[in-house]
Amino acid sequence: MPTDSGPSIAISGLSHRYGEKVAIDDLSLEIPRRSIFGVLGPNGSGKSTLFRLLSTLVPVQSGTIRMLGYDVSKDQQAIRERIGVVFQSPSLDRKLTARENILFQAALYSIPQSQARARVAELSKALGIEEQLDIKIDKLSGGLRRRVELVKGLLHQPELLLLDEPSTGLDPLSRLELWHSLEQLRLEHSTTIVLTTHLLEEAEKCDRIAILDHGRLLVDDSPEALRTSTGQIVFSVATNEPHKVIEQLEKQYGFHGSFHGGSVRIVRQQTDISPMEVYASLGSLVSSMTIGPPSLEDVFLRLAGKSFS
């Protein structure tokens, strides 16, 4: 019998093919309960296939997936009753109001009207859309539509919420508002949230992330632990003459710098360089220099041997 202990999702030896193409390659992974877990990877990494498997849209070909203690291959109905799914493509009727869309979802789950209305009131307040409930979907912003989708996905009180690329089409402010809503769901309702993303800044906010490439699991850990594990340090050199800085670093130290956002960026192992020596050697070419941990982009580059983008 399923219990409340153990991970929300336990994946073992999972593989999936489309003809000759391998989409998921012997994946094993555990996702803790009451966490926000990100599945990060570039296009073609296997994120979408994994999402379809977790949401029970396609059958498991090889390996096992247990969700909330249930076997995906044997207990699909029990799983579907306990999970909420928000797809990348909007599923809202643009000609109906937010409330009408949500209540239609309640009818699909056979939720009694009185209970459905109480849940709509509770969730719309938690997600900040109380004043938009009676506005037609085509009049709402992308961020507000995403919140309506979340209310739909949470209406039947799922233990697990699956989100496919939740920030797609949202502006930066809407992304921040959406993320605040997700954190509130986890804190106030103990909901486990699993999201796929190709946005590094979104993955940074997760409790843990799994990085995929060509269907393979490269690593699974917290963003902070992943950045620390590389043993690297990043130098950001502010300069008005980036080409001269890059040329001097290459000539003097054999370092390969890159220019991003007004700064020359260098990634090195922490043990092979003196920051003060570099700063002094550049002299008047440098207006300032900061030192910090590597980004998830650097982690991916180190693990996969190529740029994330």
Q: Which residues contact 32 (CB under 8 A, 6 or more apart)?
A: 7, 8, 192, 207, 208
Q: Measuring CA to CA, which residue among 4, 79, 83, 88 is closest to residue 39?
A: 88
Sign of CA dihedral 275, 309, 15, 76: positive
Residues 177 and 284 in one domain: no
Q: Residues 19-53: pLDDT tens digits?
A: 999 999 999 999 999 999 999 998 889 999 999 99
Task: Provide the whole-model pTM.
Answer: 0.82
Residues 213 and 237 in one domain: no
Number of domains comprising the chain: 2
Residue that finishes a domain, picked among 202, 222, 242: 222
Instruction: Check: CB of residue 33 under 8 Å from CB of residue 8.
Output: yes
Per DSSP, helices labelled H in the chain are 47-54, 76-82, 98-108, 113-126, 142-154, 172-189, 200-203, 223-229, 242-253, 275-282, 296-304
Q: Is residue 309 part of a domain?
A: no
Q: Is residue 63 part of a domain?
A: yes
Residues 240 and 153 in one domain: no
Query: Residue 48 belongs to what domain range?
Result: 9-222
Residues 208 and 104 in one domain: yes
Give the Å distances, CA to CA, from 21 to 43, 147, 216, 232. 15, 35, 13, 35
Tell me, what CATH number does 182's domain have?
Answer: 3.40.50.300
Q: Is residue 263 part of a domain?
A: yes
Q: Residues 220-258: pLDDT tens digits?
A: 999 999 988 888 888 888 988 889 989 988 888 888 888
| pLDDT level of residue 181 (50, 70, 90 thresholds) | confident
Q: Is residue 16 part of a domain?
A: yes
Residues 28 and 77 in one domain: yes
Residues 208 and 236 in one domain: no
Residues 64 and 89 in one domain: yes
Residue type, 82: R
Q: Residues 71-118: pLDDT tens digits?
A: 999 999 999 989 999 887 778 999 999 999 999 999 988 899 999 999
